[in-house]
Amino acid sequence: MAIIEPKGRVGLRMALWLAVLVVAALGLALWGSKDRSQPTPSSSFGAAFGGPFTLADRTGAAVTDKALGGKPYAIFFGFTRCPDVCPTSLARMARLRKQLGADGMKFNIVFVSVDPDHDRPADIGSYVDLFGTPIIGLTGSDAQLAQISKGFGVYVKKVPAEGGDYTIDHTAAIYLMTAKGEFAGTIDHHEADKVALEKLQRLIG
């Protein structure tokens, strides 16, 4: 015996199925219109730090982010009067470069002074020469340093000291940049040399 549903129930079921079909069609349309040009997670990571900048080298000549392109580099921010973190970090980078052997010259080491009131370009050049390996020393105007500090997310704060002098609190991380100028990670001040070497090997590999 055939079961016949009431007309009202049939109409309700047809309305529900029609609603389901409409929702599915809208979902497909939205999926098809999704912007496929959005950056992948890896490309977003590469653009997380860096960006355009212009600074001055030891001779006062302009150095841009484009000029540093074409070769990976490790960039560190500090100041020449820094009592511990800066000289320790630069000496460490010189040591790690030596441990890499011939591969050690496949990347540049860049030191940016964030103390333009004290560190003149020539002073920075003399300072980086103390570490026994080629290091690019840079500085700039307050505006130029503010731009690069913002681009790399570097914390910089002048702290008054006794006698009217000052010191500078700053980010101690070393930023690793690819030959394309993309961010590749950091070397932490407290990180083991073995881990830091592995990161440098990946950077130049």
Domain range annotation of the chain? 49-204
**40-44, 95-99, 176-180, 184-188, range with the lowest pLDDT:** 40-44
Residues 6+ apart with CB under 8 A from 82: 168
Residues 6+ apart with CB under 8 A from 50: 65, 151, 152, 175, 177, 181, 182, 183
pTM of the model: 0.78
Q: What is the pLDDT averaged over residues 68-78?
A: 96
Mean pLDDT of the residues in the chain: 84
Alpha carbon 41 to chain centroid, angstroms: 14
Question: Is pLDDT of 12 > 60?
Answer: no
Question: Is pLDDT of 34 > 70?
Answer: no
Name the superfamily (CATH) of residues 49-204.
Glutaredoxin (3.40.30.10)
**7-16, 63-72, 117-126, 144-153, range with the lowest pLDDT:** 7-16
The whole-number pLDDT of residue 43 equals: 52
The whole-number pLDDT of residue 22 equals: 39
Question: Is pLDDT of 90 > 80?
Answer: yes
Structure token pair of residue 54:
């212009």
Within 13 Å and on the Cβ side, how many CA atoms surround 150?
Answer: 8
